[in-house]
Amino acid sequence: MPDLREFPQNESSLTHTEMTDCPRREWVLMDTDVLVAGAGPIGLTTAIELRRRGISCRIIDPLDEPRQYAKAVGIQPRTLELFENMGVLRQALDASTLMRGQIMYTNGVEVGRVDLTLPEDVPYWFLCLPQYSTERILTERLAELGTTVERGVGLTAFEQSDDAVTCTLSDGSTVTARYLVGSDGAHSVVRKGLGLSFEGGAFAESYMLGDVEVDWSIPSGYSVRANHTADDGTTDDLLVCIPLPGHKRYRMSMLVPEELMPDESSNKAAVQHGFSTGKTPELHHIQAVLDRLSPEPTTASMLRWSSVFRISHRIVDAYGRGRVFVAGDAAHIHPPTGAQGMNTGIQDAHNLAWKVALAVKGVATADLLETYDAERRPVGEEVVGMTVRNAREGIGAGESSIDTAMRRQAQLLIDYSESPLNSGRDSSSPHVQPGKRAPDARGLRRDGVQYPIRLFDLLSGVDHTLLLTSDGSAASINSLEKVADAVIRSAHGLLDVYAIVPPGTVHVDSLVPIIEDNDSQLCAAYGIEGTAALVIRPDGYLGFRGHPENISDYFAKVFAVSRE
Ligand SMILES: Cc1cc2nc3c(=O)[nH]c(=O)nc-3n(C[C@H](O)[C@H](O)[C@H](O)COP(=O)(O)OP(=O)(O)OC[C@H]3O[C@@H](n4cnc5c(N)ncnc54)[C@H](O)[C@@H]3O)c2cc1C
């Protein structure tokens, strides 16, 4: 049933004075708040994050069935933090296998071994989870939230006005939505419809992929990179094996033999990225590469699927225009080196969805949605550059230390330092600043809970979180309650507030939940002393740090003025 909503009432972020100057708006019949085009991992994440915030959405995909092959296998530690927030962490851990490290061979000789370890402050490690499992888990979560993917129907065209986007689907129907998110992959109809450029280039080589079992003695959980170097120093043969859940099962990728080369003469203008529809590699093609490059004699069996694919590196010139946005491969494509593509797209979706949700609820500032491009396009540009560099020079090339290289691959260093949303930033301070990922802290205690809790437990909601430090005295709690009351109003009620008190504090009556920083881990992780406020955004980034009296600087950038 379409619902009838009037935009100026529900969505406007204009002040009352500005509204009186507005031309009269028409009533618009909405089918849904947001249409999500594409039910790959990025569209599914977008839809989940919208539904968790009570926003109506439809999600469509021309494929009758989800794909049953694994493009993305590597899941980064940062993505697992997002999965925890989305309520799919257990499912992802259950269905995956640990990525312990990589062993490198050149001309049959082991030349290096990297163990993928992370310091204790990082909650999760690197996992291998085939993309079909990721999509299944996300689809199930979305269904729990009441939304089912509409399959067998794709987006063919759209038009946007000041108030809505009218989308035409492949079955001839139209959908009117407040916003359209194009998560429709590398050949995106949404990107083309917006007229965005997609600058970059294609790699000359074609590759083939196969999902097989082997009988070698390589230790469990290690990927293998084996190459052959010619006399002139160039690599002329390559095999990369990524562990999959199962017994000695790997997703293997290698250069494609001449007989399987795709014929690209007919479609030179198209974006050359992803799987080709031509000839399919067979077990003997993979065995031939293993016979040349495997670190020890081995036999491949149980071929589950295989394909030939090409890789390009491209990025759009804008992540959206007006009411229409692109995310994931629709916005950026690059080599699979270091398992960055899907993980980056999942963070695009996280960044976009909470902002769209606030806009749909009519409580966002006029500029909030523009920060999606401002924050995510620099990240996309960095990922494209890094993966192209790593494909040519190896992962970690140019990094100052192993720790930095690990954290960067894990996507823990992605930040929005230049974001217009940041407030209270002091770039000369050594402590975590607005625009950076908000780190976890353990050892917290709260009344009624017998075990230590983590900061991330407090961030498991869908809104902003405000942490206010207090010495726990009645006077301090009283003044903190006043701050909380004012800020909750300016955030239209969409804010969770906690008082952070030192260990051993005698609790006084408080309207704000009190959290004891039992081992002072929270204050240490954030470098806090005395009276302080921290605002953590719904996507887990620090938005503000500073004195409580300055908090409104941040909220004024996110939330429209409350008319209460
Ligand atoms: C060989 C290989 C290995 C990779 N390994 C990794 C890895 O280990 N880790 C990692 O993070 N990334 C990896 N990637 C990248 C990763 O697969 C992509 O970044 C990821 O699939 C992007 O997700 P997406 O949802 O944006 O696009 P897609 O997965 O391409 O999904 C797009 C969806 O949109 C649908 N669609 C298309 N047209 C329309 C339309 N008109 N209307 C509606 N829907 C439409 C499609 O049917 C599809 O379901 C790899 C890529 C390749 C090629």
Question: Under a CB-based contact definition with an 8 Å cutoff, are residues 42 and 327 in contact?
Answer: yes
Say if residue 154 is exposed, middle or buried (CB neighbours under 10 Å; 0-12, 13-18, 19+). Answer: middle
**Residue 496 three-state SS:** strand
Is residue 477 a contact partner of residue 508, using CB atoms and an 8 Å limit? yes
- Beta carbon of 251 within 6 Å of any ligand 1 atom: no
pLDDT of 123 higher than 50? yes
- Find all residues with CB under 8 Å of 195, minimum gap 6, and list them: none
**Among 151-155, 308-312, 410-414, 495-499, which stretch is predicted with the lowest mean pLDDT?**
308-312
Ligand 1: distance of its center to the CA of 68 in Å? 12
Taking the C-alpha atoms of residue 30 and residue 176, their distance in angstroms, rounded to an integer, is 5
Tokens of 150: 């509409």
- Measured from the CA of 74, which atom of ligand 1 is nearest? 8
For residue range 494-533, what is the model confidence (pLDDT) as tens digits? 999 999 999 988 878 899 999 999 989 999 999 998 899 9
Dist. CA 454–CA 286, nearest whole Å: 46
Whether the Cβ atoms of residue 175 and residue 35 lie closer than 8 Å to each other: yes
Dist. CA 224 → ligand 1 center (Å): 24
Cβ of residue 58 lying under 6 Å from some atom of ligand 1: no
The CB of 193 under 6 Å from ligand 1? The reply is no
Ligand 1 in reach of 171 Cβ (< 6 A): no
Relative to the CA of 329, which ligand 1 atom is closest? 26
Query: Is residue 210 within 6 Å of ligand 1 at its C-beta?
Result: no
Atom 15 in ligand 1: which residue has the minimum CA distance?
341
Q: Which domains does the chain have, with CATH numbers?
A: 3-72+81-88+128-195+315-409 (3.50.50.60), 444-558 (3.40.30.10)
**Range name among 38-42, 401-405, 441-445 with the lowest pLDDT average:** 401-405
Q: Is the pLDDT of residue 25 over 70?
A: no
Q: Is the pTM of this model over 0.85?
A: yes
C-alpha of residue 430 to centroid of ligand 1, in Å: 38
Sign of CA dihedral 136, 137, 138, 143: positive
Instruction: Report how far residue 387's alpha carbon sits from residue 367's, in angstroms, rounded to the nearest whole number.
Output: 31
Q: Which atom of ligand 1 is nearest to the CA of 61?
A: 44
| Both structure tokens of 91 | 């499912």
The length of the chain is: 564
DSSP codes joined into one string, 44-105: HHHHHHHHHTT--EEEEES-SS---S-S--EE-HHHHHHHHHHT-HHHHHHT-EE--EEEEE
Return d(Cα 248, Cα 242) in angstroms, integer: 10
Measured distance CA(227)–CA(104) in Å, rounded: 8
Residue type, 300: A
Contact 443 CB / ligand 1 (< 6 Å): no
CA 31 to chain centre: 27
Residue 548 is given by DSSP the state G
What the block records as the tokens of 313 is 């590196």
pLDDT tens column, 312-338: 899 999 999 999 999 999 999 998 888
